[in-house]
Amino acid sequence: MTSRHNDPIDYYLRLTDEEIHLNPYIGSTIKLSYSGVINCIHCGRTTKKSFSQGYCYPCFRKLAQCDLCMMSPERCHHAEGTCRDNDFAASFCMNEHIVYLANSSGIKVGITRQENLPTRWIDQGAVQALPVFAVQTRQQSGFVEVAFKRHISDKTQWQRMLKEDPAAVDLPGARDRLIAEISDELGELSKRFGLQAIQPIANARVHDFRYPVLTYPTKVKSMNFDKMPVVEGVLQGIKGQYLIFDVGVINIRKFTAYEVEFSAEPA
Write down the pLDDT at residue 17: 80
Q: What is the pTM of this model?
A: 0.94
pLDDT digits (tens, 9 = 90+) for 80-91: 999 999 999 999
Q: Tens digit of pLDDT for each residue in 123-166?
A: 999 999 999 999 999 999 999 999 999 999 999 999 999 999 99
Contact 138, 73 (CB under 8 A): yes
Q: Are strands 258-265 and 29-38 parallel, antiparallel or unpaired?
A: antiparallel
User: 210-265, pLDDT tens digit by residue?
Assistant: 999 999 999 999 999 999 999 999 999 999 999 999 999 999 999 999 999 999 98
pLDDT of 20 reads: 96
Does the pLDDT of residue 266 top 80, yes or no?
A: no
Rounded distance between C-alpha atoms, residue 109 and residue 107, angstroms:
7
Q: Of 103, 97, 98, which Cα lies nearest the Cα of 173? A: 103
The percent of residues in the chain predicted with pLDDT above 70, rounded, is 99
At residue 26 the predicted structure's pLDDT band, cuts being 50, 70 and 90, is: very high
pLDDT band at 31 (very low <50, low <70, confident <90, very high): very high
Per-residue model confidence (pLDDT) at position 248 = 97
The per-residue pLDDT for 255 is 96
Give me the phi and psi of 166, to 5 degrees please: -65, 155
Alpha helices in the chain, H assignment, sequence order: 57-62, 86-88, 119-123, 138-149, 158-163, 171-181, 183-193
Q: Please determine, for residue 63, whether its predicted confidence score (pLDDT) is greater than 70.
A: yes
Q: Can you tell me the mean pLDDT for 17-38?
A: 95
Phi, psi of 111 (to 5 degrees): -135, 150
Chain centroid offset of residue 135 CA: 19
In the chain, where the domains are located: 2-52+212-265, 96-208
φ/ψ of residue 194, rounded to 5: 105, 155
Is residue 207 predicted with pLDDT exceeding 80?
A: yes
pLDDT tens digit string along 77-135?
Answer: 999 999 999 999 999 999 999 999 999 999 999 999 999 999 999 999 999 999 999 99
Residue 39 CA to residue 266 CA, distance in Å, equals: 31
pLDDT at 267: 63
What is the sign of the dihedral through the CA atoms of 262, 160, 66 and 83? positive
Mean confidence (pLDDT) of the chain: 96
pLDDT score of 16 more than 90: no
